[in-house]
Structure 1
Amino acid sequence: MDDIDLEELVASLTLREENQAIKSYQNTVAVSCPACDARFDDLIVCKENPTSLNLSRQLDLCVGSADGQAVIFTHKK
């Protein structure tokens, strides 16, 4: 997977949370995941390196990079 155009991607998503470590966006318009082409549920941009995520449910994940930051696409099971 090539670097993701994060600016273009987040223009279609809804910002849900931002803190020192992450930015989280919800996919409310059925954008396809750049890694697997399936619709994803949320996009998480890791702003710190390293970053720890506490997941409250089991998810399938696709991972990429944008502007030197890890980006995670979640897919609910």
Structure 2
Amino acid sequence: MDQSELSELVSSLTPYESAGTVNTYRNTVSIACPACEESFDDMVVCEGEYDSLELSRLLDLCVTTAGDDVVLFTHQE
């Protein structure tokens, strides 16, 4: 995924949470995940060299990169 594709996705999603270099966006319009083509719940963008995620629920994840950023797409089980 390139930065323009990431920017387009971000503009279509609802900002949810931001903590340092980790930003989370809610998929309130049922956009398809670019990895598996199923609708995803949240998109998490990790911009730091090292980021830590604390997950409070069991999730399936799809992963890609956009430049130096890691992009996660969550799917609730």
Q: TM-score, normalised by structure 2?
A: 0.92
The 2-side partners of 1:59 and 1:33 are apart by 14
Task: State the secondary structure of the residue aligned to 1:11.
Answer: helix
Query: After the TM superposition, which segments of 4 or more aligned residues of structure 1 sit over 2 Å from their partners?
Result: none
CA RMSD after TM alignment: 0.9
Task: State the secondary structure of the residue aligned to 2:12.
Answer: coil
Name the count of aligned residue pairs: 75
1:47 aligns with 2:51: no
Partner of 1:7: 7
**Superposition deviation, residue 49 in structure 1:** 1.5
Percent same amino acid at aligned positions? 48
Partner of 1:62: 62
Structure 2, unmatched stretches of 5+, are none
The 2-side partners of 1:61 and 1:19 are apart by 20
The 1-side partners of 2:59 and 2:34 are apart by 17
